[in-house]
């Protein structure tokens, strides 16, 4: 806030943005799987893929500072449109020219459409051809979220990667439900696309979302309809909504090859470390999940050999770090005994140190995956990953 404005620096930055062209390039393809590395160029920085995006629901990745996120290797974070639209509201964010300056994060931000949270959090939500109507879970106020409104809010956030408003369905859902939802999702995607084309600035990308429930032919139809529009990237929605893990991976396996090779692919809301490894093998480029942050706040810490619960009594006198070879701030300076003490006494520092480790674990895993793909050694990496975790290849949650 306080630094004096450097006018020429501002102008230079503005010109860079103006002549900027968003771009995705595949760097390397694995020879024994569909795993690939690539680069998404955005106006606010280059994102090396495959990438995990920490979730910053309300304009903060819970318990971490932006500097800590950067130190953990975060290059893009996620904001939730539904939450930010309700609090603090666009009229506040507009005063800062977007979410970046409001939250002191200079890098790219991906925002969801708000649809999933209306579906899962809001009260009395109704869906029509026009969009969603709902009552805020915070204060009961009434709102309407149309495809155009969703893009308008995301443009107000100045999101680097915006998502189309889609219709989410529960699992299990009937074929009729899934079909109707995918058709509505397509019609909304067209409205989002048109509104985006008419109102975007160069830095704002928009991704389409493939729906279709757990029905391969519906997924195929959705992918065909969506890819008819020239979105800069595509996501697979409606996964990780309660279905068995094998079914989730099966649907991703079927759907990912239906998306254009030259565009980044994003599997929304996924997942465990195993999910990330498996979905990378199937060709996915981008992921987000609350698991590393939420589990951290519940004392669940990720390590190469599995998850540990820091509240466990056996850590009371454990002077070692969470993970011996981890280079995160938490592991460099604090013991399991101290982290257990902080967690048991509900000290605020506990949530931060735990979150920092888990985010570092996830981003470090993605960096190792990228390096393995670049050296065409992803199959070896995958074997070593499972052998350290002491579970068989392709297996489920830790």
**Closest CB to its own copies among 77 and 281?**
77
**Closest CB to its own copies among 56 and 238?**
56
Least gap, CB of 122 to its own copies (angstroms): 16
Q: Among 22, 33, 39, 60, which residue sits at the site for its own copies (rule: CB under 8 A)? A: 60
Q: How many CA atoms lie within 13 A of 203 on its CB side?
A: 24
- Is 87 a binding residue for its own copies by CB under 8 A? The answer is yes
- Is 351 a binding residue for its own copies by CB under 8 A? The answer is yes
- Is 59 a binding residue for its own copies by CB under 8 A? The answer is yes
Q: Which residues contact 5 (CB under 8 A, 6 or more apart)?
A: none
**Closest CB to its own copies among 267 and 350?**
350
First to last CA, the chain: 43
Q: Among 88, 260, 394, 396, which residue sits at the site for its own copies (rule: CB under 8 A)? A: 88
Could you give the dihedral angle defined by the CA atoms of residues 241, 242, 245 and 251, in that order, rounded to the nearest 10 degrees? -40
- Is 137 a binding residue for its own copies by CB under 8 A? The answer is no
Q: Which residue has the tokens 């509104």?
A: 195
Q: Which residue has the tokens 């902080």?
A: 342
Site string for its own copies, 202-221 (x = CB under 8 A): --------------------
Active site includes 106?
Answer: no
**Closest CB to its own copies among 261 and 347?**
347
Q: Which residues contact 282 (CB under 8 A, 6 or more apart)?
A: 33, 34, 249, 252, 253, 256
d(C-alpha 199, C-alpha 357), whole Å: 40
Q: Among 20, 96, 215, 386, which residue sits at the site for its own copies (rule: CB under 8 A)? A: 96
- Is 92 a binding residue for its own copies by CB under 8 A? The answer is yes
d(C-alpha 1, C-alpha 212), whole Å: 45
- Is 320 a binding residue for its own copies by CB under 8 A? The answer is yes
156 phi/psi in degrees, rounded to 5: -65, -35
Q: Encoding tokens for residue 170?
A: 């529960």
> What does the angle CA 307 – CA 311 – CA 314 come to, to the nearest 5 degrees?
85
**Closest CB to its own copies among 70 and 227?**
70
Q: Which residues contact 217 (CB under 8 A, 6 or more apart)?
A: none
**Closest CB to its own copies among 58 and 377?**
58
Q: Which of 112, 160, 166, 285 is catalytic?
A: 112
Q: Which of 253, 288, 318, 374 is catalytic?
A: 288
- Is 352 a binding residue for its own copies by CB under 8 A? The answer is yes
Backbone Cα Rg of the chain: 21
Site string for its own copies, 330-349 (x = CB under 8 A): -xxxxx-xx-xxx-xx-xxx
Instruction: Count residues near its own copies (CB under 8 A).
Output: 42
Distance of CA 300 to the CA centre of its chain: 20
- Is 1 a binding residue for its own copies by CB under 8 A? The answer is yes
Judging by DSSP bridges, how do beta strands 286-288 and 51-53 pair with one another?
parallel
Active site includes 139?
Answer: no
Do residues 289 and 61 lie in contact, with contact meaning Cβ atoms separated by under 8 Å? no
Active site residues: 112, 288
Binding region for its own copies (CB under 8 A)? 1-3, 58-60, 62-65, 87-88, 91-92, 95-96, 102-104, 316-317, 319-321, 324, 331-335, 337-338, 340-342, 344-345, 347-349, 351-352
């Amino acid at each position: 806030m306080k630094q004096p404005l450097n006018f020429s620096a501002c102008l230079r930055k503005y010109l860079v943005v103006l002549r900027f062209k968003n771009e995705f390039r595949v760097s390397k393809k694995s020879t024994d799987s569909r795993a690939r590395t690539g680069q998404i160029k955005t106006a606010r920085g280059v994102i090396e893929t495959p990438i995990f995006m920490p979730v910053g629901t309300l304009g903060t990745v819970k318990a971490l500072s932006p500097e800590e996120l950067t130190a953990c290797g975060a290059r893009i974070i996620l904001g939730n449109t539904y939450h930010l639209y309700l609090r603090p509201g666009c009229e506040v964010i507009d005063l800062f020219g977007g979410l970046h300056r409001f939250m002191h994060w200079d890098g790219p931000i991906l925002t969801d459409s708000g649809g999933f949270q209306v579906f899962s959090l809001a009260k009395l939500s109704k869906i029509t051809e026009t969009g969603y109507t709902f009552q805020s879970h915070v204060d009961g106020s009434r709102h309407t979220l149309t495809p155009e409104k969703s893009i308008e809010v995301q443009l107000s956030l100045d999101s680097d990667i915006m998502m189309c408003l889609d219709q989410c369905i529960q699992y299990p859902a009937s074929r009729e439900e899934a079909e109707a939802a995918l058709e509505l999702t397509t019609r909304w995607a067209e409205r989002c696309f048109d509104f985006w084309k008419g109102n975007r600035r160069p830095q704002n990308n928009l991704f389409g979302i493939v729906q279709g429930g757990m029905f391969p032919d519906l997924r195929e139809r959705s992918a065909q309809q969506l890819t008819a529009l020239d979105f800069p990237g595509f996501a697979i929605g409606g996964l990780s909504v309660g279905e068995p893990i094998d079914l989730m991976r099966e649907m991703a396996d079927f759907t990912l090859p239906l998306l254009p090779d030259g565009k980044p692919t994003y599997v929304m809301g996924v997942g465990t470390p195993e999910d990330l490894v498996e979905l990378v093998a199937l060709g996915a480029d981008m992921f987000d999940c609350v698991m590393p942050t939420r589990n951290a706040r519940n004392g669940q810490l990720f390590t190469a050999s599995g998850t540990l619960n820091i509240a466990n009594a056996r850590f009371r006198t454990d002077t070692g770090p969470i993970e011996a070879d981890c280079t995160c701030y938490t592991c460099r300076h604090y013991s399991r005994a101290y982290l257990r003490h902080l967690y048991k006494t509900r000290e605020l520092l506990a949530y931060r140190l735990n979150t920092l480790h888990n985010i570092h674990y996830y981003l470090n895993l993605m960096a190792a995956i990228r390096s393995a793909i670049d050296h065409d050694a992803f199959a070896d990496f995958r074997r070593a990953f499972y052998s350290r975790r002491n579970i068989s290849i392709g297996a489920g949650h830790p």
